[in-house]
Amino acid sequence: MAGGSAISGLVGASIPRKENVRILTGAGRYIDDVQDRGLLHSHFLRSTVAHGRITDMDVTAARELPGVTAVFTGADMSALTSDLSFAQPIPGLHSPSYPAIASDVVRYVGEPIALIVAESRYVAEDAASLIEVDYDVLDPVMSTEAGLADGATQLFEDVPGNVVHAGEQVFGDIEAAFTQADHVVTESFAQHRWAPNPLETRGGVATYDRATNQLTYEVSTQTTHTYRFLLAGWLGHPIHQFRVIANDIGGGFGLKFSVYREDLALCAAAKKLGASVKWVEDRNEHLVAAGQAREEQLTLQAAVRDDGTLLGLRVSMLLDHGAYPINPPSTVYTGIVRTTLPGPYRIPAYQFDHKIVATNKASYISLRGPWAVETLVRERLLDKIAGVVGISPVEVRERNLITLDEQPAKTITNVTLENVTAAETFSTLASRIDLAEIRREQERARAEGRLLGFGVGTFIEPAPGTKEFWDAVGFPFGSEPARVRVEIDGKATAFTPQVTHGQSHETTLSQLVAEELGIGFDDVKVVYGDTDATPFSMIGTGGSRAATMASGAVVVASRELRRRILDLAAQLLEADPADLDIEDGVISVKGAPGSSIPLAQIATGCWLAPDQMPPGFDTSLEYVSNYDGEGGGFSQASHACWIEIDQETGKIEIKRFLVVEDCGRMINPAVVEGQVIGGIAMGIGGMLLEHSAYAPDGQYLAATFMDYLMPSAPDIPEIEIEHLEFESDKVIGSRGVGEGGTVLAPAALLNAIDDALAQVGRGRVTETPITPTRMLGLLGVIES
């Protein structure tokens, strides 16, 4: 399914990652690798109660402990910084500001209440144990239902009823849709709270130079320019004297898109002390305090004809916001769920309402595919509809999917779908499945006392989406800058605001630049993660933008430089630019290889003697592009999952997992497959193992990997992947693929579990995670 892409050769090859040698040999630079001379270490004392007033805090003994440099209380820190504020001009949004360190009220277990700076982390932790804190404990709010109840404890004076935001939108004639329906199918589902949990936790090293007033923050983040902009404002520090650097990053998964109060406190402490101060949270801190995601409850009602055709959909969503707002505003999450939930399906009418509720938990944050619940509930609802009307899960999707032939087409949320191949990925998937044989195999297994399940699902991913889509969500789409420079020796450097943390940007952007300029893959260097060097962008790496936006930006910049180089070479070789080619750093006339000139020779002339180059031509070999995405676009995939449930232990084994995906032209197939497999592994872990659990009194119950379980290699099957690679005629025919596995795999998995349960006359899954204990309850082996 190929269109008119102009990129080939290096692009599309599974070239080994540039990052591998550095990272796999231990030569990377992560935050814990920073060991500068005179470095001080810090530790945060954190609240042990979920909700309460600090009535007294005695830090005297901590300050007197040998090796302690300073102890900052909430009052101390508030004298140095403004409160964190993520307020946006969004009607009805209640976004309370809050201090870097709590000084009055604490609102979750793990909230920072003091910062200790010392000569070592060990001394800082010892000092923390000497601080005496008294609380007036208040009733915690530990669920959205509790937060909305009459007489509920109010977490903030400026968040009435604990409702951070509420809203409703109607598209089409929803009443008529339900009046005309042959069936109304209802589904309720509660997704549990889980966490990004990257290998490298949050951390940073803040350094202040009194002589120059320069503040430098080396931090593990996905978005350096956002950090610089927000932190400089809260610190009252001149932004031109504030540099943010991100080197190697041990994963992010959305967590490191946000700016946190610990970042602000660390920078303020470094500036106050005129020193370098380091903080790296341990895993216990990370699990308790870094934030979690995915805790949502949805109720859906579908108006359906007898043949399974969708007429309308009503959706009600509750989102557990946790205590404090974080960037981006939580309305972005409900907005993207609302806008994406109809997916690639024809739905003539749609109603969506939501409430975002404050609770005494760590903040709700981004997690790989933060809109994922929409795919989970929609794809499970479709299976339920299939059962009600008596058709297969394959048929119900095929009858409602928008095909490529129908496009461009508007979804019910007024988003234009063009070049979207969700229906095609699903038909390809269906052609690889013998559903009748699957059912026969299930019957044979039941006769042997074994229980098998099978599930499918499909989706579209806004990767990067379109301006129209993001306008509907309430989040800026934005363009993407890049700077490319051909150096004096003919090699190239590309500067990007993307901050790579596993996506292989150094590799894929090098492939694109090398292909466009006709130079070697190893002759391209990619610079990222330094606000003093990279173009400005408030988005950085997030939302699966890079494959289209960053790639497009470096291609546009490289093509402009190629044009300039060929124009100059044409004059020197007395040829038409259209008759020239660049290969291996040599510009030659097509069909006359003897008539050539090294690219390095032209580059040297442009840099050292531009006045001696052909007059009237642009000799600047550095160009900044600003790529608008040419309308953006969507990735899509369809998944199929085969499982077996052990009816004695409740363990779920995934026997087979099949993926048909289309992210357009693959820049590097090995990178794409790594992202797909990693995403599926994360989605499976989230459904079966991971759980950020809280007790009724607000204590966090999964503060170590003894309790917060993560998938390992034996938990993940071999993933079968087929690529379609449908391309448009845009500058870049590639779209993002980093989040899709985590978004869609849970739906296919839960549909397989529901399918297995139906065979033994049991009900559907209504909440997650599906632990062995919960599975035994669903099977009726134990009381649930």
Pairing mode, if any, of strands 451-465 and 633-645? antiparallel
Give the single-character DSSP code of 589: E
Contact 345, 273 (CB under 8 A): no
Contact 748, 379 (CB under 8 A): yes
Q: What percent of the chain has pLDDT over 70?
A: 99
Q: Does position 9 have pLDDT exceeding 90, yes or no?
A: no
* Strands of the 296-304 sheet, one edge to the other: 163-171, 350-358, 310-322, 296-304, 183-191
Taking Cα atoms as reference points, which of 354, 352, 360, 357 lies closest to residue 149?
A: 357
SS3 11: coil
Taking Cα atoms as reference points, which of 491, 545, 561 lies closest to residue 520?
A: 491
d(CA 646, CA 661): 30
d(CA 491, CA 607): 13
Give the single-character DSSP code of 176: H
* Cα–Cα distance list, 507 to 279, 462, 534, 583, 671 (Å): 30, 23, 17, 19, 9
* pLDDT attached to residue 6: 39
Same CATH fold, 479-627 and 296-473+630-779? yes
d(CA 196, CA 366): 8
SS3 674: helix
Contacts of 253 (CB under 8 A, 6+ apart): 196, 197, 198, 367, 368, 682
Within 10 A of 166 (CB to CB), how many other CB atoms are there?
15
Within 10 A of 170 (CB to CB), how many other CB atoms are there?
13
d(CA 556, CA 627): 7
Q: Which residue has the tokens 């982390």?
A: 121
Within 10 A of 286 (CB to CB), how many other CB atoms are there?
23
* pLDDT 10s digits, 687-743: 999 999 999 999 999 999 999 999 999 999 999 999 999 978 888 999 999 999 999
Query: Stretch 208-233: mean pLDDT, rounded?
Result: 98
List residues bridging with 598 in a β-sheet.
Answer: 586
* pLDDT attached to residue 210: 97
d(CA 193, CA 565): 54
Give the single-character DSSP code of 230: H
* Strands of the 242-245 sheet, one edge to the other: 68-73, 112-118, 40-46, 276-280, 203-209, 214-219, 242-245
Q: Does position 4 have pLDDT exceeding 50, yes or no?
A: no
* pLDDT 10s digits, 584-593: 999 999 988 7
* pLDDT 10s digits, 626-684: 999 999 999 999 999 999 999 999 999 999 999 999 999 999 999 999 999 999 999 99
Both tokens of residue 393?
A: 């899960």
Burial class (CB in 10 A: 0-12, 13-18, 19+), 208: buried
- Residue ranges covered by each domain of the chain: 34-138+196-289, 296-473+630-779, 479-627
Contact 343, 713 (CB under 8 A): no
CATH 3.30.70.580 at 34-138+196-289, yes or no:
no
Contact 732, 552 (CB under 8 A): yes
d(CA 540, CA 596): 40
As a 3-state breakdown, the chain gives helix, strand, coil percent values, each rounded to 5, of: 35, 25, 40
* Cα–Cα distance list, 535 to 288, 538, 623, 627 (Å): 35, 10, 11, 12
Q: Does position 514 have pLDDT exceeding 60, yes or no?
A: yes
Taking Cα atoms as reference points, which of 706, 690, 683, 677 lies closest to residue 769?
A: 690
Q: In 569-706, where do the E strands start and end?
A: 580-583, 586-589, 592-598, 622-627, 633-645, 652-662
Length of the chain: 784
List residues bridging with 315 in a β-sheet.
Answer: 300, 352
Taking Cα atoms as reference points, which of 349, 313, 631 lies closest to residue 464?
A: 631
Query: Stretch 187-214: mean pLDDT, rounded?
Result: 98
Taking Cα atoms as reference points, which of 339, 517, 333, 457 lies closest to residue 749?
A: 457
Residue type, 680: I
Q: Does position 744 have pLDDT exceeding 90, yes or no?
A: yes
Average pLDDT, the chain: 96
Taking Cα atoms as reference points, which of 209, 361, 768 lies closest to residue 217?
A: 209
Pairing mode, if any, of strands 112-118 and 40-46? antiparallel
Q: What is the CATH number of domain 296-473+630-779?
A: 3.30.365.10
Give the single-character DSSP code of 134: E
Q: Which residue has the tokens 């009858």?
A: 399
d(CA 265, CA 72): 9
- Crossing angle of helices 373-389 and 740-759, in 10° steps, is 30
> First-to-last CA distance in the chain?
49
Contact 356, 319 (CB under 8 A): yes
662 CB-side CA count, 13 A: 27
Within 10 A of 436 (CB to CB), how many other CB atoms are there?
9
* Cα–Cα distance list, 657 to 386, 491, 639, 703 (Å): 22, 43, 7, 31
Contact 726, 664 (CB under 8 A): yes
* pLDDT 10s digits, 100-155: 999 999 999 999 999 999 999 999 999 999 999 999 999 999 999 999 999 999 99
CATH 3.30.365.10 at 479-627, yes or no:
yes
SS3 162: helix
Taking Cα atoms as reference points, which of 453, 503, 442, 455 lies closest to residue 746?
A: 455
Residue type, 382: L
* pLDDT attached to residue 2: 36
Contacts of 664 (CB under 8 A, 6+ apart): 547, 633, 635, 725, 726, 727, 728, 733, 734, 735
Contacts of 594 (CB under 8 A, 6+ apart): none
Q: Does position 594 have pLDDT exceeding 90, yes or no?
A: no
* pLDDT attached to residue 538: 93
Q: Does position 5 have pLDDT exceeding 70, yes or no?
A: no
Contact 666, 12 (CB under 8 A): yes
Both tokens of residue 30?
A: 């992560």
Both tokens of residue 444?
A: 């044979």
